[in-house]
Structure 1
Amino acid sequence: MKFIIYICLMFVGNCYAQVAFQNYGNVQMHENAEVGFHIDLVNDGTFNENLGIAGFYSEDYSLSISGTEIPRFHDMEVDVVNHLFLDINTEIVNSVSYIVGDVITPRDNPNVSLDYLTDSFYVLEDDERNTDGYASYQGDLTFSFPIGDRDKLRPLITTNTVPNTTVKAAYFDEDPNTPSTFTTSFNTNSLESIVGVVSNLEFWDFNGPDNSVVTLTWDSESEIDNLAEDLRALRIVGWHIQDEEWKDLGNSGFSGTTSEGTINSIVFNPSEYEVLTFGALITEDDIDIANLVSPNGDGINEVFYIEGIEAFENELIIFNRWGSVVYQVDNYKNNWSGLANVNNVIKRHKKVPTGTYYYVLKLKDSNKSSAGWLYITY
């Protein structure tokens, strides 16, 4: 079988120059087979019971895989100077060797991808040899997607939490405010209250089951130091589809420096988020405290609002003008509308009178405090 396939491919190549090997029937590669494609592959038949190595080789021009039926290779080698383009999903049972060139999938069609099946792997990936576009993985192991964009490898790592489901990812080396292949933009100024800044340099598209955790990677071109000088403030953020804003997806662990490293998300549901990138929490300097409270039902100044307070472990104490405590809480949540919560000069759960009050806000991590006044009226 190895010999017959080799002759068939060479015959097509010799007769028609760079045309395509088109399969309408049932082709099968047996164990130890080595088949080299020096022309395009159009698969309109059965080509999914393969062992051995299928190689794509060209020193002069690009090659492509297309057709109506998905091919499945046991091992695949890519040695194509001007890249191997996938117009149809291509499945890998065991391994991919990125020797020369990228495997490129259409970024405007996430349904087309290089598909790694259970326990499959890859070797030799780097900035100039990776999957430029979408790759998928079906298995229950931790998998690092060999994805990149424009000569930049930027893996996304995840563990598939639901067996027999597929996770998929692509990396985009572009501004999320002006994405090239999405129908919407991802405004980096539309932020959850605890998020202070979001990268405008790159993002990932990730699709997976509920309760996923991902690890993102960066290098010096990510300019992480412009987001957070202290990596403890760095976050993975996701564009929330319904709320149309970037939300904090956590920092459950990180490694490296601002020049190169990795960061882990908390558990999240990818179906709620369009894309992912890097962000950072607001800093203490970003905290903004309003001093007017008017809980009268008009929707304006209904609570004592401290912008960004959710990002910090804190304690808030509010006093009346005689120094008596009327409200005290750990980890204030922007929900005080004038009700006392201590039995002091006013009964608990009763409204404090209209007037001027004073507060002390303590940030526990830095052991810093700030004090000021507020006015409440009904």
Structure 2
Amino acid sequence: MIFAPKKILFFLIGFLQFSHAYSQASFHNFGNIQIHDQGQVGFHADVMNDGDFDKNFGFAGFYSQDDLTVSGSKRPIFFDMEIDVQNFLYLDVALGTSNFMEFVNGKVITPRDEVNVSLDYLNDAPYIGENDDRHVDGYSSISGDLNFTFPIGDDFRLRAMRIENEAAIDTAVGAYFFENPNFPNFFSESFDTENFEELLYGVSIFEFWDLNGAIPTAVTLTWDDNSNIPTLANEISDLRVVGWHRELEKWVNLGNANVSGDLNSGEITSDVILPDDYVILTFGSSNRILDGDLEVFTAVSPNGDNVNDTFVIQGLTNYPDNEVFIYNRWGVLVYQKEKYHEVQDTEKGFKGISEGRVTIAQKEELPEGTYYYVLNVQGTKNRAGYLYINR
């Protein structure tokens, strides 16, 4: 690493003042510094950038056995970069790489309510090393003219999204949310999954993506077994990419230009769309899930007053070969019962008690909140929806 004498002085003054104020060792730049070609810098402490730190070459790495934070008023941009933190690298300001980046350990966390704070890939900068434990948990952006796959996810789940050539000449930004679109945590509006155009018969309640871009592109979304695709279709050919139209304020069919995989994992590509026309994207179905007269009572209040004490699906006796699954918002199974119509009005019906996998303590009361049911009826497509536990 090469510094001119004045730049060393800027660095030392900033470092000492920041350390004194916060009683911790941190790198604070409010001057004008540069990593030159062949230079190498390793950050083992938080980085605060209030100066010019965006004309770098060489290599920069982030290393910690715990967490690190990048903050300040200006975006630092590094040439080659790697992230090797045991837990999380938090971004309070955008961070850029202009040549190459590697995920070695840890996730990059960005604030999901600030789309402009993102991990930025400039000039088609590639990356490697992403997986369920190493990705951007929040927003990432791309500037360039090549195909790009966003290394985005939510918690310990990588859920990539791909855009096509030249879609990011003016920058495209994306994030993945493992949330019910009806009750999003980081948006000022909700997206009613029962409000869709006539060509659709269902919309996913388990997840969605946010893609911002002003250039038309086809969009590829991915799914895994937590996506519960069988609740939408028996065949992946029935799947569609759908988007909440900004002006129409309902879900619109965005097509199925290509699809591959199976019901447990795969990917689907939309027709060419203008991303900025849609607030969020997710999966939909072109076929009905289940025919017949079923009424689902989505409020469960197990307080012993004999009103909504258990989860009830009226009309289920017409479909005796059935099985009910209930998941929490993280996709963890908390209840499962075959022939649910025989027990739904009894003590064996779901009344907010966990009887699922060992990750949830069995026979314990579940907290209040939103849960998801999946109804499997033999010979038909699955049906899914949300329910609420109120105590």
TM over 0.5: yes
Distance apart, 1:167 and its partner CA: 0.8
Distance apart, 1:282 and its partner CA: 2.6
Structure with the greater alpha carbon radius of gyration: 1
- The 5-angstrom pairing of residues 170-249 of structure 1 reads 170-249=175-254
- Quote the Cα distance in structure 2 between the aligned partners of 1:165 and 1:115: 13
Distance apart, 1:94 and its partner CA: 1.1
Distance apart, 1:20 and its partner CA: 2.2
1:21 aligns with 27
- Quote the Cα distance in structure 1 between the aligned partners of 2:51 and 2:158: 34
- Quote the Cα distance in structure 2 between the aligned partners of 1:222 and 1:214: 18
2:90 aligns with 85
1:32 aligns with 38
2:268 aligns with 263
- 149-158 vs 204-213, greater mean Cα deviation: 204-213
Distance apart, 1:211 and its partner CA: 2.1
Unaligned ranges ≥5, structure 1: 288-378
Query: RMSD in angstroms over aligned alpha carbons?
Result: 2.5
1:146 to 147, 151, 175: 151
Distance apart, 1:39 and its partner CA: 1.0
- The 5-angstrom pairing of residues 328-343 of structure 1 reads none
Name the aligned partner's letter for residue 35 of structure 1.
V
- The answer as to 2:123 corresponding to 1:118 is yes
Name the aligned partner's letter for residue 211 of structure 2.
F
Distance apart, 1:18 and its partner CA: 3.3
2:53 aligns with 47
- The 5-angstrom pairing of residues 344-355 of structure 1 reads none
- Quote the Cα distance in structure 1 between the aligned partners of 2:192 and 2:166: 30
Name the aligned partner's letter for residue 51 of structure 1.
F
Change (3 A) 1:285 1:44: closer
TM-score by length of 2: 0.69
Name the aligned partner's letter for residue 94 of structure 1.
N
Distance apart, 1:52 and its partner CA: 1.5
- The answer as to 2:173 corresponding to 1:168 is yes
- The answer as to 2:139 corresponding to 1:134 is yes
Change (3 A) 1:208 1:160: farther
Change (3 A) 1:230 1:90: same
- Quote the Cα distance in structure 1 between the aligned partners of 2:234 and 2:212: 30
1:333 aligns with none
Distance apart, 1:89 and its partner CA: 1.2
Q: Is the 8 A contact 1:161 1:209 kept in 2?
A: no
Change (3 A) 1:286 1:192: farther
Distance apart, 1:14 and its partner CA: 9.2
Q: Is the 8 A contact 1:140 1:162 kept in 2?
A: yes
Q: Is the 8 A contact 1:113 1:134 kept in 2?
A: yes
Change (3 A) 1:232 1:22: same
Name the aligned partner's letter for residue 149 of structure 1.
D
Distance apart, 1:79 and its partner CA: 1.2
Distance apart, 1:160 and its partner CA: 4.3
TM-score by length of 1: 0.71
Distance apart, 1:69 and its partner CA: 1.5
Distance apart, 1:268 and its partner CA: 1.3
Secondary structure, counterpart of 2:226 in structure 1: helix
Give a deviation string over 1:30-79, Cα, whole Å, max 9, x none.
1221111111111111111111111111103x111111121110011111
Give a deviation string over 1:64-123, Cα, whole Å, max 9, x none.
111112111001111112211111111111122111111111100111111101130111
